């Protein structure tokens, strides 16, 4: 089982580049950042953790652009994978976003993973012209359209939310297939969506009893005709040896730890201490 780090980016504290560099040096496998383009002040959407319109962290309205953040991280690292937990593709133009992600994969030497979500903040989606009750369809179309641009010499797509005629688009990603992970709650409907349109699941911090959920995802994965096993990334865990051993036995492929909102030197020290608890081997220089 791999170990990853997620930085809730903002315009204060440690930069993504510094955090990613420290995470790579400490031996972590993946560096994650989130996405929110904006947070409408008046909202009907309850936050999954608070249950109402209040936010558990002011960084929700201060997040950096994820692809700019990961580009800065790519420039100062060599091996660590670069991912989102999670990005909201339907809040961007799909053709432009496909170019951005392909460029990052090209410049980073093939290190990008797309962690994506449907979006809990329906008000935020509405401002981008995406109806909340159509967000699953919109995300599917975005992923299909971007995949066409990444893999086909003359790409085209005709859907409800995305439509373009035969087009050329380079660079292509270094990876033949950019891995797609979905961060969402553990429902049968979500797992079926993952099995049909993604490569794995990112849990939510509220998903602590994973045994039944992992078993259901694997069952649906096979029923949908997928080979192998889905990637499963457990978000918001603690470095408890027994818990980590149990996650590994379930088939969790990566555990993701969140960084504290502290001064840069404190965050770097925290990364080092966490790596020690996990017995990670520091990267060779």
Kindly report, residue by residue over 166-188, the tens digit of the pLDDT: 999 999 999 999 999 999 999 99
Under 8 Å between Cβ of 189 and 221: no
Cα 6 from Cα 40, distance rounded (Å): 24
Residue 201 · residue 226 · CB < 8 Å: no
Helix H or strand E encompassing 33: strand 30-33
pLDDT at 275: 98
Per the DSSP assignment, residues forming a β-bridge with 116 are 87, 182
In order of start, what are the domains of the chain with their CATH numbers?
A: 2-62+77-278 (3.20.20.30)
DSSP 119-186: -S-HHHHHHTT--GGGHHHHHHHHHHHHHHHHH-SSEEEE-SS-EEEEE---PPPSSSS--EEEE---
The CA distance from 190 to 46, in Å, is 19
**Per-residue model confidence as pLDDT tens digits over 259-278:** 999 999 999 999 999 999 99
As a whole number of angstroms, the distance between CA 150 and CA 99 comes to 8
Tens digits of per-residue pLDDT, 69-94? Answer: 999 999 999 999 999 999 999 999 99
Reported as a single tens digit per residue, the pLDDT across 122-145 is 999 999 999 999 999 999 999 999
């Amino acid at each position: 089982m791999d170990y990853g780090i997620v930085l809730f980016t903002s315009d204060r504290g440690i930069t993504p580049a510094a955090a990613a560099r420290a995470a790579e040096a400490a031996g972590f496998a993946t560096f994650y950042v989130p996405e929110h383009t904006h947070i409408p002040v008046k909202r009907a959407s309850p936050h999954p953790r608070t249950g109402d319109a209040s936010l558990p962290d002011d960084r929700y309205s201060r997040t950096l652009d994820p692809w700019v953040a990961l580009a800065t991280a790519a420039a100062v690292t060599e091996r660590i994978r670069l991912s989102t937990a999670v990005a909201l593709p339907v809040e961007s133009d799909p053709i432009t976003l496909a170019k951005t992600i392909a460029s990052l994969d090209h410049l980073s030497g093939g290190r990008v993973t797309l962690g994506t979500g449907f979006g809990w903040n329906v008000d935020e989606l509405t401002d981008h012209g995406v109806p909340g009750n159509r967000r699953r369809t919109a995300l599917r179309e975005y992923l299909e359209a971007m995949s066409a641009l990444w893999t086909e010499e003359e790409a085209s797509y005709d859907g409800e939310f995305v439509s373009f005629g035969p087009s050329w688009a380079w660079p292509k990603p270094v990876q033949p297939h950019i891995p797609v992970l979905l961060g969402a709650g553990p429902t049968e409907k979500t797992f079926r969506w993952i099995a049909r349109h993604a490569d794995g699941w990112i849990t939510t911090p509220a998903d602590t009893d994973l045994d039944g959920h992992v078993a259901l995802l694997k069952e649906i994965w096979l029923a949908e005709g997928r080979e192998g096993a889905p990637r499963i990334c457990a978000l918001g865990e603690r470095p408890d040896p027994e818990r980590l051993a149990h996650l590994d036995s379930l088939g969790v492929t990566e555990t993701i730890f969140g960084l504290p909102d502290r001064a840069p030197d404190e965050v770097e020290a925290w990364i080092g201490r966490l790596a020690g608890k996990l017995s990670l081997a520091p990267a060779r220089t």
